[in-house]
Amino acid sequence: MFDFKMDSVEDRPLKILIVGCGKVGTTLVERLTQEGNDITIVDTNAHRVADLTNMYDIMGYVGNGGSYSVLKEAGVDSMDLLISVTHSDELNLLCCTVGNRMGNCATIARVRKPDYSNEIGYLRDKLGLAMIINPDLEAAREISRILYLPTALEVNSFAHGEAEMIKVKLPEGSPLANSNLIEFGKKKDINNMVFCAVERQGEVIIPNGSFVFEAGDIVSFAVPRRFGRASLKKLGIITSQVHDCIIVGGGVTAFYLAKQLIHNNISVKIIESNSARCEELSLLLPEAIIINGDGTDPAILKEEGLQTTEALVPLTGIDEENIFLTMHAKQMSNAKVVTKVNRFAFREVLNGLDLGSVIYPRYLTAEAIIGYARARRASVENSNIETLYHMFDQQVEAIEFSVTDSSDVTGIPLMDLNLKDNLVCAFINRNGKIIIPSGTDTIEIGDTFMVVTTHKGFNEITDILK
């Protein structure tokens, strides 16, 4: 998911300095305060600082986060973590560099420009950054995974891409409908699948062997990546990668997505209203078809093949336009539509619209940083959070732990561990091989191990025990 370096500190609330209070910064304030951390913000916009300090119990400073004096006043020398998410990549890198020199804190920079995307590892190591985050690139990767399995609502990657968590809506006539896992296992080989969570009428359940599934349930299951499509077939869901895609909007996310789709032999057409950007995209993406026009105009969409395309991805940068385009496409075509939404304050309303696959780039960024912050707070050095993902409107957490030393859970068959309720062991990653665990399997040093649970705030692997 995201690549970061980890140093262990004692389990206590982290002191975190966030530079930049735009959409991403505001989301980080909300989510990291929920995690119980001590937050300080810096932004040049006095109104933003005032709004956030009034809304949350945090400290705020008005000024340039790249300034030595501003960072000193904000207390960077006593911080555990500095996160710079201004609109300027260069300023973010400068803030982190100054922060590194002034204090002993870990640093995270948001870097969006494609010019830097191939240099992330070099920049992180040379500048001493804990993590570089690129929300646009991560959003493009998630959309690409969904278009690989277009009948899925979500496809999340774990174990460095070797395992996936797939979310689907169980169709009428599915072999799993009106069955429990014991009965379903007699009809289908489900040794490569772990059913992790089910949402029914807003309630989320961690299913056991006797839980009876129903058509219309939203089901998430873990599976080795190579078995994803075969697993969907067992559920009565036939899927195949799309062959062509229309992208509305030619911004940074569209560029990253087009590159990935072209790499996967998917034909790409981008509709962009700015003629100068069209010329730029034509040079950057010679394999794509670039159309200069208003992609929100139904007549243009029809002319460019909306009714016959296999996929449409609205990336206009305006949530309302993306949502209307999705609704229009669902009426006019059978295309798989993935909708990018920046704000998720109205997430419950959007869920009621049945838009299908919706992604929130700010959410992806927050997930990565929360995972890092929890790992820093862990009280032991032998168990770190590798990947963290919230599911079903934050009602469920999927956590992949890295195991680097022995503990109370290592070397013991899973069936002999006193595991907490409402928790499922999803997979063991052992040297790149994904093991769907049985009761006789054990967690060993060097593994990564993923659990899915309705419990909140796990910091270390031993938290799975009662």
Instruction: Give the separation between CA 198 and CA 14, rounded to whole angstroms.
Output: 33
Instruction: Give the separation between CA 240 and CA 243, rounded to whole angstroms.
Output: 9
CA distances from 425 to 28, 198, 204, 341 (A): 29, 15, 17, 31
Q: What is the pLDDT of residues 372-396, one digit of tens each?
A: 887 776 543 444 788 888 888 888 9
Chain centre to alpha carbon of residue 432: 21
Portions of the chain given CATH number 3.40.50.720: 15-133, 244-352
Q: State the amino acid at position 33 in one-letter form.
A: T
Side-chain-side CA neighbours of 415 within 13 Å: the count stands at 5
pLDDT of residue 457: 82
pLDDT of residue 8: 42
Q: Cβ of 410: how many Cβ atoms within 10 Å?
A: 19
pLDDT of residue 128: 87
Q: What is the pLDDT of residues 345-374, one digit of tens each?
A: 666 677 777 788 888 888 888 888 887 887
364-464 CATH fold = Alpha-Beta Plaits (3.30.70)
Instruction: Give the separation between CA 205 and CA 437, rounded to whole angstroms.
Output: 20
pLDDT of residue 318: 92
Written as six digits, the tokens of 306 are 């909306």
Instruction: Give the separation between CA 353 and CA 347, rounded to whole angstroms.
Output: 10
Which residues of the chain register pLDDT less than 70?
1-12, 344-348, 377-383
Instruction: Give the separation between CA 386 and CA 181, rounded to whole angstroms.
Output: 29
CATH of 160-234, one of 3.40.50.11750, 3.30.1370.10, 3.30.70.1450, 3.40.630.10: 3.30.70.1450
pLDDT of residue 317: 87
Instruction: Give the separation between CA 466 and CA 450, rounded to whole angstroms.
Output: 17
How would you classify the pairing of strands 357-359 and 396-403? unpaired
CATH class of 244-352: alpha beta
Instruction: Give the torsion sign (CA, 148, 149, 153, 158).
Output: negative
Side-chain-side CA neighbours of 202 within 13 Å: the count stands at 5
Q: Name the H helices within 113-271.
A: 114-117, 120-127, 135-148, 181-187, 228-234, 252-263
pLDDT of residue 344: 67
Instruction: Give the separation between CA 398 and CA 454, rounded to whole angstroms.
Output: 9
15-133 CATH fold = Rossmann fold (3.40.50)
DSSP state of 211: P
